[in-house]
Amino acid sequence: MSKKIYLFSALLLMATLSLVACGGGAERVSQPTSPPTPAGDPVAGKKLFEGTCTACHGPEGKGVPGLGKDMTTSEFIAGKTDDELVAFIKVGRDPSDPLNTTGVAMPPKGGNPAFSDEDLYNVVAFIRTIHQ
């Protein structure tokens, strides 16, 4: 009987040491993470913005009355991730959308069907630089 107790104690000790060595049950302290790297290039995005978006949003992104909204103070932009903004720009906004407050359509990809996903991320990166 004492051999069984000795064997059981040895196994229990080995299991305990294994858990301690592996950190089993120990609370892990998370390291601070750096902010995500922007997905796009704002310099390239500015050129694309100037060639397409300024027609409605103006050269500084402050909007054109009756056409495009002011992007510099937009709560919509502030509340969206880059991925969400790219998804929005891809489909645009129809005048019948209840959230469309201008009554003017925002065409998919701002009216430039040649925009790639990379282009859209670049535009979003630029928009982030003018948003206050």
- What is the domain partition of the chain in residue ranges? 42-130
Helices 117-130 and 42-52 meet at what angle, rounded to 10?
A: 90
According to CATH, the topology of domain 42-130 is: Cytochrome Bc1 Complex; Chain D, domain 2 (1.10.760)
State mean pLDDT over 102-109: 94
Kindly report, residue by residue over 115-129, the tens digit of the pLDDT. Answer: 999 999 999 999 999
Segment 1-22, tens digit of pLDDT: 566 665 556 555 565 555 555 5
| Tens of pLDDT, residues 20-64 | 555 545 455 555 554 455 589 999 999 999 999 999 999 999 999
Q: What is the mean pLDDT of the chain?
A: 83
* pLDDT score for 14: 61
Buried b (16+ CB within 10 A) or exposed e, 76-105: ebeeeebeebbebbeeebeeeeeeeebeee
Cα–Cα distance list, 62 to 3, 43, 79, 98 (Å): 84, 18, 18, 22
Place of tokens 């922007």: 38
Residue 50, pLDDT score: 97
**pLDDT recorded at residue 35:** 47
Residues above pLDDT 70, as percent of the chain? 71
